[in-house]
Amino acid sequence: MHETAAAQPAGPPTGRLSCTIGNNFAAIAKSQRPTECRFRPRRGPIQHYNGIVRSFSLDLGSVRTATMVWRVYGPYARAPLGALGGSFKSGSATAPSTPGNALVGGKDNEASLLPLPLQGNRGINVAIGVTALDLTLVEPGRRR
């Protein structure tokens, strides 16, 4: 999947969000179990989030482990702590929710997540099938 100018959200990229899902991805997508995510802003410290995929639009069969990776866009040069906390949804009133669309949401609906292709032989980026995602900041010092 390649980004196009039409699909790319406005504004400069502000970082990358990666979520790793292990032990039976199909069960996680169907039961909305939490996933662990890591936001690497272009400037500032790494932020950790717990995520829940609320809506997934692809049938991938029995994928055992999966990765979700998005390029993050937002109106800030340095992403504030918790900037991605909140609900993200695909589509809009004029564009229906479809796989591969950018997700829009976060704090004050200021962030956009655009699925990225994975490099090398690391598997499939299942982010292309996510149409709704909730993220909650894991406060620094509270990680396991």
Q: Does some domain include residue 132? A: yes
Asked if residue 62 is part of any domain, the answer here is: yes
Please check the confidence at residue 19 and state whether its pLDDT lies above 60.
yes
In a domain, 44, yes or no: yes
Domains held by the chain: number? 1
> Domain span at residue 57?
13-137
pLDDT digits (tens, 9 = 90+) for 51-85: 888 776 655 555 556 778 999 999 888 889 999 99
Extended strands (E) in the chain: 13-21, 34-41, 47-56, 66-73, 86-90, 103-105, 111-115, 130-138
Q: Is the pTM of this model over 0.85?
A: no
**pLDDT tens sequence across 26-37:** 554 455 666 899
